Structure 1
Amino acid sequence: MISAYPKTMKPHAVSKASVFIMILIVSSSLAMVKNVNAEGSFHGVITQSATWTKANNPYTLDGPTSIASGVTITVEPGVTVNLNGYYLQVNGSLIVRGTANEKIYFTNGRIIYTSASPGGTVFEYTVTDELHTATTLTITKNTFNKLAAGGSSTVTDNLIANLGAEDSATITKNQITKSCDASGSAKITQNNIQTRVVFRGGSTTIISNNQISDGVHCDSGGGTVIITDNQITNTNKYPIIFITAAEATVSNNKIIGQNTPDSGIRVMGSYHSSKQSRVTITGNQISGCKTGVEFSGGWGTIKQNVIINNNLGMSISVSSSFSIPASGTNVGTVEQNTIAKNGVGLQYSPEQLAVTIQNNNLQDNSNYNFKITGTGDVSIPNNYWGSTSTDEIKQKIYDYNYDFNLGKVNYTPILNQPAAGAPAVPSDVPTIAPTQTPTNQPTINPATPTNAPSQPANPTPFELNIVEVAILVVLVIIAVLLAVLIVTIRSKKK
């Protein structure tokens, strides 16, 4: 019998070769489709640049997905991306530019720009569930459920439910409704903030020119914060500004209590042995609180403030934290303030530490201009009392003369006129300016966009993209090889 094969090739070699070729082809086909399971469905690593178009809506993640370094994905206006509970990690570039009439929707998941991303791109006119960026983006005219803005990003004219401002981000002219955390060297300025601002620590965080409806909390365990030129009020009984274990400058703010919160500004020492509060409180107007300024720990300069229409204008009761500083240390200066029209002007409880009180206007407080609560004697010279009559001055000082268990107050010499550098007594009670609410922002509800396009009808057989064509070609080749293999096996049996 004459063999059908060349003498150098045995029949089983052909079978093995065919099977090997098939395995290579199948493996190649799987590699081609591992990131695209169906039209607009993704997982794994996206390795080719592309544009996501409105015509191919919606796009869906069916697993964690990453845009590889050097790859650019551009998202057109009107596109909907269902993150499906997963995250889209951007190591390359993701360019997102919707329009006012055709927003881009990212629902039910997170977009994460890593520090590996080159940044410098725009993210605008979207409704997005959650965005995190460690690189620099321009983020404008979006609605976010949660935004963590880092790098040197600029965030402007957005509606944000929950904000985290980190690194060197600049947050300007936004409406922030549920939570607002700040750290690093972030700048938060000219925003309408309808929640409490929480300072988490950092090099120098700036909070300026905002309307803040629930105060500022600085319990950072270190870090520096500047709180300046804001209008700040409250929605509960907590101190409007609370500071402990931070270095803070609080200046030129209008601090207005509603329903008599505990304090306008409260300064405490520290929960940490190595991190003490150091504060400068200057040029503020504080009213409507149980206590205007409460200073009970750390180091402080309280200067040129107007403190009016509180139950108690100022309370000073300073003690050490972790024996820091040593007992007897002078830890503060209270000067050039106007403390007037309160129930009690200034209450001083000399304990372990001392404070210098001089060159203030202590006048026109309804019960007492000055009150002592400790047993030690106190000297507070060179203040203006609204009168030069010693009898009138003594009547408004609560000390040994009212309760022999208390120390005595030495208030001489007195100033014969209002203290130089101290602000004048305002003629009216401070009021809260109207809240400025952006008019161009939709209601925040990223998970259920109201105008997101519906999924298009299934494509006709002629609407094949390049991946589908490649798959079809691979399947045809596999079918041909299977036919050849079957014929070969049958020939071998014969």
Structure 2
Amino acid sequence: MYRNKSKVSVILIIALFINGLIILNPKKVYAYEATEVSELISKSTTWSKKYSPYIVEGNVLVDEGATLKIQPGVEVIFDGNYYLDIKGKIIAQGSEKENIKFSSGTNIRWKGIKIESAYNKMKYCVVENSENGVHLKYETAHSNTIDKCKLINNDVGISLELCYSSESNKIQNCILAYNEIGVNIKGSEYTTISNCNITNNNIGIYQGVCLKKNYIRRNNIYNNDEYNLQVDTKNANDQYFFYYNYWGTTDKEEIEEMIFDFYDDYEYTKVRYEPYLKNQIGKLPDINIDVSEISFIEKYLILNLGESKKIEYSISPEKANENISWLTNNENVVKVKNGELTAVGEGRAIISVETENGDKKAECEVIVEDYIELPSEDRVLQDKIWTIEFNKSILFNEITSENIYILDKNGKKVDVTIEKNDDTSITITPVNKYNKGETYNLWVKDVRSIDKKELNKTMKMEFKIHGV
């Protein structure tokens, strides 16, 4: 029960003691060796598995005349919104068992790999969590080969921009999945895209400015969300050819429904997709998106003895592999099964969740106490002063921040002053204002009366500050 004492004070009337006293219900560190890289590579360099992972701490430019060779099994982690710009040459040739991986070390997407030169090779590479996975740009970007690579969970998997050369770029045997756009063509000719799986993107292929000399055949292009193919060239007298691809169905109406072109808006260019394949090319591989980060919504919890609670967590990116395992370091305090916590004993435990490969991990501290949960208070003022009244005189000299205190959402004690009003009441005043919209917990424990009667049970009251 609460009653107003002033605009900033609420009284908690607490009869807390046993033996005749009645309880009233009141109101980015890496766990392995790493090599940091940034800035200019002006002479030929090799990134080897021995010194992997390579942590990119700034934009990296491979200058003209220099070659960057990357060995199988190397992991390149971009620790921010940085790019790898190739004006010289990149030879990144992994193997079927040891891919080369380009990814982000944070929730911030890295910019991607920009290639502005010729005769580059990427094979058995994984490029994920970037703005623009592999970006072939300008007429100088020709005779490049991207083979057996996976481009997953990028804004754009592969971009071809202003690649007007008579010498072909080859994109073959690749997987482009879970991107906003799988392939973005903004000006290209003599490019070959073949034997690729372009699936589960928002848009499979986005066709902007393009000449007719591209060879885009024998691909699986289907199961994309908005369109399998979207044309963005306003030239009703022209046409683009996408022969001999598999569109996920043999029904022409269904195929055309997932292609945006002249037949949806007469200002745009026509797409010619017949003849088309009636069967999928090969077996569509399983696509596994690695987790870049896993975290708990709450990193600190207090549970009542016997209480059960489902703990919430988040995984980035959104479509990543959600195969995880749960662990507790103290089963005598908290048991966990599929994220469901059960408080079985008083004490402290660390609950952890790990990704399938054990690469990413999050922890939550859980305290279990045997306490009485008092009714919560909402819309509390930022400068609230709590007044606690007891039904007996208390030993005020025993009152410390260890037995009467306020915790924030992270389990940290709030700076407060505790003052004696009289023999049966105290006030708790915050040194600084509480944060708007946040939840706090007021704890009262181990208080004794002047006749040495013990507190019957620990008390907890949750309160939420008004505002956002």
TM-score for the superposition, normalised by structure 2: 0.48
Structure with a larger share of its residues in helix:
1
Larger proportion of strand: 2
Q: Give TM-score, length-normalised by structure 1.
A: 0.45
Q: Which structure would you say has the larger RCO, counting Cα contacts within 8 Å and 6 or more residues apart?
A: 2
